[in-house]
Structure 1
């Protein structure tokens, strides 16, 4: 695999030339769950360059899987010649978008500012910052902080109707809960509407994108601009990415897939994509890769005719992990995946990659005197020492891909550098051990 960074991959991206209009391509890719006037949007995106934006709030130190959908949509529109604005929410991050369940804990100004910078770096990583339609990053604190409370209430708040605001999904859910909702979070949709108007006035921005769960906030902006400027602007809500049981991936649900390698390792990131269900993988390829329609259709045939080969999942994992983490980290993840199951050299893997793999497996920390059989029990590979002895006698116990016949040997004598060991029972059942002392 040729060594490439995200910047290198960015330079090779292109939209599928078999689509006459980028609108048709994003519809094909399933990126439009809800929108304003579809015919007007198709005409708009097929015409002269427009300015469009998406906002990213610093509610965590990293962006995640759901944000990547927006970043890739911004990139596709940029490749079609349109001008992207990436908004980082220095002010909205201080307020907090209302969740359906409970009030957010407000972050300090210092922490919010630190996370704003981290989010800015993420945004600039995936969208080109050079050329005639280079990315421009803006911070809504720049126009919100100077505004007085009187200005906010008279000039902005006057244009919003409380009965309409109460109908927003998150607001309605909170009103019907024991938690209720504070005026602070209730006002969030007004602030997001103000952002759209500011970007319309300053940059002639006429389109906002966001997740479909943000639709109420997106339309707050379109409505404010209609009322105060007398023009119609547009919004696109993308579908939420969910797991097989319909649960959303995100920080609120505790199952976020982060873009920061310190929060989700490249190995874990790669495994997430590799483990996609056959029923989901083609949709994921459409949303998260720049593979052409023809390539995706070819992989769809593979899923139907040779599902056991998992070619679509392998290509998905390769493409997305390379984009986010570069090809070197992706190759390390691939090598680790092969080595764990005896198809590669575990000793050649860097310690951080081994640790990332162990973190994704059932694992235990043991001392240097622990035997292989004790380690198997500690990690849950077997239920008892007797079961460990039987498995070893049958030839089904491996430590770092070497078959172990004497389960009473200290596992530290078989460990990799750094005191790590990968236990395997049979062909596919794995666990990890970290040895201390």
Structure 2
């Protein structure tokens, strides 16, 4: 016999015989099965855990009888947690917040299994609750995938509940393995700190924009608190933390998580650092539950295992009933997850994705996606979404639904000024609007034409078209450059010019904001800011 035959029952013994929860014992069996590939041992272990469950059930019944006399009445027991629980609601709560979020497609799964059917809706209706969602600052900006989580928090806040946005200043240094095929590069502490500051500002901006532009004032909003989980870890010792929290986690349960199993099967495997991530996220939930009374956690569908770890940890430590809700992952038109790892992120900070680029991202969504995105990313009522889609079907060419989607999201992320900037850039680039060019700031022009060189030039009297082109090195020297202008290869402020010796004329070649947009060929742009006007 190999050592596996001795080790497998030992792993089972860690939980099967010491934990009274049948779902925990079952997941311990799953963990032990990872240690062996022998089919006949699977049958033996299955028989073992079944007998253990029966024994534990009889023990609970006997204990209950001894405490309550000879009349044995069955007690209501909680349903075991499941890895996949489709979000559905029973008829008594068809007018509540959860029902509305489910109809919009914002909620994907819930746990415990019956949370959405009975207990959680009643909890939300009983008074203001506290809801949290975490964001690891592994980059200096959140992206569109994170925006959906923020919108989920905003819906809860709009309904009068208190929301916590938790920045993972500690957990970002560990790295979440969920959905990853390899371990993240280690981030330096100062980089995480800088990322945390940037993301905090972004979250506060979005919550402010929602309050200013989307809240009608008819209902009192819940509070918003932005936290950094580093604040409750920085003074903890490793030994103290493991002594307090580590004893409540079972290896079999942790090994059974999908994020762990998929990485263990990979060529690179999984480091101890990544393996402990679920412990830290679980402790975050516990800390927020104890300090802020938080009973609800939001997370992406790829976070379900981490959310379950938090639920189980709190249940063991305090017996408090808490809940987890997942939101769908935002994917590209071909089904790829949008995000940092995939390299296709659409960012929420202006210096990484401009208001114009964000606007265009949603404006260019395929027709098949626009209705779903209106429900997910905007605060329009479902009736208004249906009216928009009806108008779109009547006249698809106007693309009214796409434009409304792009406008609503851009205004939420960048405010009214950001939306106006996006529209100016759209008109300047795609509608050749000179008026839009004149209204644009230097910053907007540089954002719109990111690759275009930006030059500040002193306007000398008698400066000609060919002079301007040569000053910014837009054309070759000599006869070839002269010929390019003569043959109409140069455009100034969206107008073709074929007179090299023409002196620059204000309001024609130089806009009222002192700018000239020069284009040579189809894609080569140059921006000139004239000084001394």
Tell me the SS of whatever aligns to 2:184: coil
* TM-score for the superposition, normalised by structure 2: 0.67
Report the RMSD for the aligned CA atoms in angstroms. Answer: 3.6
Is the CA contact (8 Å cut-off) linking 2:206 and 2:414 kept in structure 1? no
What's 1:107 paired with? 187
How far 1:180 sits from its partner (Å)? 2.0
Q: How does 1:249-260 map to 2 (within 5 A)?
A: 249-260=338-349
Partner SS for 2:163: strand
After superposition, the C-alpha distances for 1:98-135 in whole angstroms (9 at most, x for unaligned) are: 25222112222222223222222223333369x77311
Match of 2:6? none
Contact 1:401 1:424 (8 Å CA) reproduced: no
Return the offset for 1:414. Answer: 5.6
| Counterpart in the other structure of 2:440 | 349
- In 2, are the aligned partners of 1:55 and 1:86 still within 8 Å (CA)? yes
1:392–1:407: 8 Å Cα contact kept in structure 2? Answer: no
Measured in 2, the distance between the counterparts of 1:226 and 1:329 equals: 45
Counting only pairs closer than 5 Å after superposition, residues 37-56 of structure 1 correspond to structure 2 as: 37-40=115-118, 41-56=120-135
Deviates more, 1:168-177 or 1:312-321: 168-177
More divergent stretch after superposition (269-278 vs 150-159)? 150-159
Change in Cα spacing, 1:39 to 1:358, as seen in structure 2 (3 Å) is same
Superposition TM-score, scaled by structure 1 size: 0.81
Aligned partner of residue 166 in structure 1, secondary structure: helix
Cα distance in 2 for partners of 1:222, 1:376 equals 66
**Residue of structure 2 equivalent to 1:273:** 362
Q: Distance in 2 between matches of 1:338 and 1:240?
A: 32
Quick one: distance in 2 between partners of 1:309 and 1:238? 31
Structure 1 residues 237 and 424 mapped into 2: Cα distance closer, same or farther (>3 Å)?
Answer: farther
Q: Distance in 1 between matches of 2:175 and 2:502?
A: 55
CA distance, structure 2, for counterparts of residue 27 and residue 46 of structure 1: 16
Higher relative contact order (CA 8 A, sep 6+): 1
5 Å-filtered alignment, 1:330-369, equals 330-340=419-429, 341-345=431-435, 346-359=437-450
Q: 2:525 aligns with which of 429, 432, 436?
A: 432
Q: Within 1, Cα distance between the matches of 2:444 and 2:377?
A: 24
Gaps of 5+ in 2: 1-93, 212-219, 456-465
**Structure 2 residue matching 1:106: 3-state secondary structure:** coil
Equivalent residue, structure 2, for 1:34: 109
What is residue 99 of structure 2 aligned with on the other side?
24
8 Å Cα contact 2:158-2:221 kept in structure 1: no
Unaligned 5+ runs, structure 1: 1-18, 378-384
User: Does structure 2 conserve the Cα–Cα contact (< 8 Å) formed by 1:168 and 1:216?
Assistant: yes
Which structure has the greater CA radius of gyration?
2
Q: Return the alpha-carbon distance in structure 1 between the equivalents of residues 407 and 520 of structure 2.
A: 25
Distance in 2 (alpha carbons) for counterparts of 1:421 and 1:163:
64
Relative to 1, partners in 2 of residues 1:161 and 1:290: Cα closer, same or farther, differing over 3 Å?
same
Alignment-derived partner of residue 71 in structure 1: 150
Q: Tell me if structure 1 keeps the 8 A contact 2:485–2:497.
A: no
| 1:142 matched residue in structure 2 | 231
1:402 and 2:532 matched: no
Q: How many residues align?
A: 403
CA distance in 2, matches of 1:55, 1:44: 22
Matched, 1:226 2:306: no
Relative to 1, partners in 2 of residues 1:21 and 1:182: Cα closer, same or farther, differing over 3 Å?
same
> For the structure 1 residues 152 and 244, does the alpha-carbon distance in structure 2 shift closer, same or farther, using more than 3 Å as the test?
same
Does the CA contact (< 8 Å) of 1:69 and 1:288 recur in 2?
yes
The match for 2:517 among 406, 421, 425 is 421
Q: 2:200 corresponds to which residue? A: 120
Contact 1:102 1:179 in 2 (8 A): yes
Maintained 8 Å contact 2:474/2:520: no
Q: What SS class does the counterpart of residue 138 from structure 2 fall into? A: coil
Residue 407 to residue 245, structure 1, CA distance change in 2 (3 Å): farther
Using the alignment, how far apart are the partners of 1:237 and 1:115 within structure 2?
Answer: 25
Match of 1:382 in 2: none
